[in-house]
């Protein structure tokens, strides 16, 4: 019988040395062994940890609600300020428009005064003075004059200047 045990042990040792069996034994070595009577249970959170998590979530929810309540008056203030800013912007736009109209009226008044001034002058003196002014100013003044007065002044200007003035007047709309 001893011979039989030795023989079987040799076979067993021989079997463990084969590559397939060695690989299978190595894989089993890494797995935990379960003894009879022990059940394998997947890891589940305990009731205590679930209650703690629920409490933390509830606390967080209360904090968020509190912050939302704090934001309501701030939002109202911002909306009021925006309303005030919009109103101020509308008033400023209105003032700017009124100022531009007033400026234009003053410009027209000044131009009307210049037109009267140059119309009242002798055409020769008006032509001599206009020859020393900027071309844009001369054209604006003559444009607002009656044709007869403007023609008399242009006729007494130097021919080159008169030609430039007539050309500029013809290009104006």
In a domain, 171, yes or no: yes
pLDDT value at position 21? Answer: 52
pLDDT value at position 72? Answer: 93
Is 149 a residue whose pLDDT tops 90? yes
In a domain, 129, yes or no: yes
Residues 129 and 163 occupy one common structural domain = yes
Is 33 a residue whose pLDDT tops 90? no
In a domain, 127, yes or no: yes
In a domain, 154, yes or no: yes
In a domain, 38, yes or no: no
Residues 128 and 171 occupy one common structural domain = yes
Number of domains in the chain: 2
Note the pLDDT tens digit of each residue in 37-92.
455 455 677 888 999 999 999 999 999 999 999 999 999 999 999 999 999 999 99
Mean pLDDT score of the chain: 83
Residues 63 and 92 occupy one common structural domain = yes
In a domain, 109, yes or no: no
Q: Does the global pTM surpass 0.95?
A: no
Query: Which whole-number Å values give the CA distances from 143 to 85, 94, 118, 137, in the listed order?
Result: 44, 31, 12, 10
Residues 126 and 170 occupy one common structural domain = yes
* Domain containing residue 50: 46-103
Is 5 a residue whose pLDDT tops 80? no
In a domain, 19, yes or no: no
Residues 159 and 126 occupy one common structural domain = yes
Greater confidence, 27 or 61? 61
Residues 128 and 88 occupy one common structural domain = no
Give CB contacts under 8 A, 24+ apart, made by 144-149.
Answer: 144/111, 144/112, 144/115, 145/115, 145/118, 145/119, 146/119, 149/118, 149/119, 149/123
In a domain, 166, yes or no: yes
């Amino acid at each position: 019988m001893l011979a039989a045990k030795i023989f079987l042990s040799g076979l067993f040792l021989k079997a463990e040395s084969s590559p397939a069996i060695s690989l299978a034994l190595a894989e089993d070595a890494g797995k935990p062994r379960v003894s009879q009577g022990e059940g394998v249970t997947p890891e589940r959170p305990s009731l205590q940890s679930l209650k703690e998590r629920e409490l933390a979530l509830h606390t967080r929810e209360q904090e968020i609600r509190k912050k939302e309540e704090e934001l309501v008056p701030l939002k109202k203030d911002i909306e009021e300020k925006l309303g005030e800013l919009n109103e101020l912007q509308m008033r400023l736009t209105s003032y700017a428009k009124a100022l531009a109209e007033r400026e234009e009226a003053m410009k027209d008044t000044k131009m009307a005064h210049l037109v009267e001034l140059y119309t009242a002058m002798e055409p020769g003196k008006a032509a001599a003075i206009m020859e020393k002014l900027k071309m844009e100013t001369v054209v604006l003044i003559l444009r607002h004059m009656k044709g007869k007065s403007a023609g008399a002044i242009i006729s007494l200007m130097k021919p080159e200047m008169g030609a430039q003035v007539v050309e500029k007047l013809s290009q104006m709309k």
